[in-house]
Amino acid sequence: MDKDLLLHVDAVDYLLRSPQVNYSGDTGRLAGLNATYTGRFADDILEEIPAVCAELIKRGNPEAAQALLNDLHNRHLTEYKSKNYGFNIQGHHPLSIGGSHVLASDMSMRNAQTVYDIGRLNGVEHGTNADYMLPITRVAHDIAHTDPVTHKTNKSGFQIESQRFRQADPEARAIAALPMNLLEQSISKLAFNRAEEQAVRRFCAQKLGITPEQLISFERDPNYLTDTGRPGDLSYVKSSKKRLGKEEMAAAIVHGWGMDASMNKVLTPNQYKFEFKNSKKAPEYRDRKSAGMRVSDVMQTFRPEQEANVRRLIRGR
């Protein structure tokens, strides 16, 4: 990441941490922007950062910052959903976006980027990048968040474990976290490659007359026609999503997983079934909680050098 982009990304993180801004959106997901390999979906918004920071620091006005963060959040949603090929397909990060943030949340942005760069050199897919995303069904998404200790769905498990790595040297921290990062990523890809999940994709692809690989491809679909019958300019994945609605995906899920597409009997993420000793009492579905640091906890203070970097960015306008 070049010096100019580094300052801009650091400033986004600053705004998220600022008590003046008091951002009310999905801080955990948006905080992962600093771990993202490319800012291609946000470059034009990042150009606004110096003026927005000046408005906040010099005039005490948080409105521009809140609007910018909302814009970034919407772009982020589009990026991580970009491979979702059908109704109710969910975009899954192979590596927890919040976990990547927590891993280097106490470091200067420069050192944090070193942690992410070393991870990527060793196969770790930090951040939100359309090429990394795994489009999966709801039931596979629960499996992708399997806790290797409890063997239950736990969406915050790996994220919280990231706080264990607090080596001062960024290279040492990246290498220490590598086994856990690769384990989490492997669990995610095992869910994506489950036989049931592959059967869903094959069913959808056969219905559309394309291959499972094309189903999630960003290449242009030469066979897509607009409503007026003219050749359209859509990727395979976008044209697939237009044709794989609720009924089509319901049939695909029944074919692959052998269950009602409403999945009423599937636990929601982070829940477990609690059965009472008294058999007359109906079981309860309770939320599973993990103890430890969350993204919101690490956003309470600024990073080292962060305030000075933001002021330098403003002066450079």
pLDDT in tens, 155-183: 888 988 898 999 999 999 999 999 999 99
- The candidate with the shortest Cα–Cα distance to 158, out of 111, 91, 102, 116, is 102
Q: Report yes or no on 146 lying in a domain.
A: no
d(Cα 289, Cα 78) in Å, to the nearest integer? Answer: 29
User: Contact 122/178 with Cβ under 8 angstroms?
Assistant: yes
pLDDT at 112: 95
Helices (H) and strands (E) in the chain, counts: 16, 4
pLDDT at 46: 83
Q: Specify the DSSP class assigned to residue 129.
A: -
> What six digits make up the tokens of 172?
């040492």
Q: Specify the DSSP class assigned to residue 32.
A: G
Alpha carbon 94 to chain centroid distance?
Answer: 8
Q: Report yes or no on 272 lying in a domain.
A: no
pLDDT at 20: 94
d(Cα 295, Cα 102) in Å, to the nearest integer? Answer: 6
Q: Report yes or no on 15 lying in a domain.
A: yes
Q: Report yes or no on 163 lying in a domain.
A: no
d(Cα 249, Cα 191) in Å, to the nearest integer? Answer: 18
Q: Report yes or no on 188 lying in a domain.
A: no
Question: At which residue do the structure tokens 């309860």 appear?
Answer: 284
> What six digits make up the tokens of 207?
């219905």
Q: Report yes or no on 243 lying in a domain.
A: no
Q: Report yes or no on 8 lying in a domain.
A: yes
Whole domain around residue 75: which residue ranges? 1-80
Q: Tally the domains of the chain.
A: 1
Q: How many CA atoms lie within 13 A of 137 on its CB side?
A: 29
pLDDT at 222: 94
Q: Specify the DSSP class assigned to residue 231.
A: B
pLDDT at 290: 52
- The candidate with the shortest Cα–Cα distance to 233, out of 248, 222, 246, 218, is 222
Regions of the chain where pLDDT drops below 70: 37-41, 260-273, 284-294, 317
Q: Report yes or no on 11 lying in a domain.
A: yes
User: Contact 256/89 with Cβ under 8 angstroms?
Assistant: no
Partnered with residue 231 across adjacent β-strands are 225
pLDDT at 272: 64
β strands within the chain, DSSP E: 90-92, 134-136, 271-274, 284-287
pLDDT at 268: 55
pLDDT at 288: 57
pLDDT at 230: 87
